[in-house]
Structures are given as structure tokens and as C-alpha cells.
Amino acid sequence: MRYLILFALLYLLYYLFKKSFFPSGRRERVLKRYQGGSADKELVQDPQCHTYIPKEGALRAQINGEVYYFCSQKCLEEFKKRS
């Protein structure tokens, strides 16, 4: 049990450390740089599980007039159910 608390503390420290070095805004800019100019290497975010996936490999769906990209059929169905 003591080890579990220690582990949680270490994880928290690691999380804070990581967060201070990579604030979300900066991470996004880095991500955009990796996307490059090529359209098929563009990354899109799955609105269901928030995973970034390459546009070419993503499942495209139009829901309520908006285009969304999903990593899997499961995410698509879940998102459709939610909206």
C-alpha cells in the first residue's frame, strides 16, 4: 500500500515536470510543425477519444453538417450516439 502512494507521488511529480516543460500551447505548435506541408500527412483529432490520427487513415463522417474524423468505427458510433 505504501508503494502505491509512493508511485502516485512519483507520477504526480513526473506529470508536473512534463507539464512545465511542454505547456499545451507549445505542444500544439510542435505538432503543427510535424504536420508539414503535405495534406495527407495532416493530423486530425478524434472528437470521441481525443487521439490524433493521420487524415488519410481516419474515418470521415459528416454529422449535423460538420465533418469529423475518427480513429475507429467504434468511436464514430459512440460520437453519433452522443450528439
> Which CB sits closer to Zn ion, 12 or 31?
31
Interface segment toward Zn ion; rule CB under 5 A; list 4-12, 17-25, 29-37, 49-57:
49-57
Interface segment toward Zn ion; rule CB under 5 A; list 8-16, 28-36, 41-49, 54-62:
41-49
Please identify which residue in 43, 49, 59, 61 interacts with Zn ion, judged by CB under 5 A.
49
Query: In the structure grid, which three cell numbers stand for residue 46, read together?
Result: 478524434
CB of 74 to Zn ion, least distance (A): 7
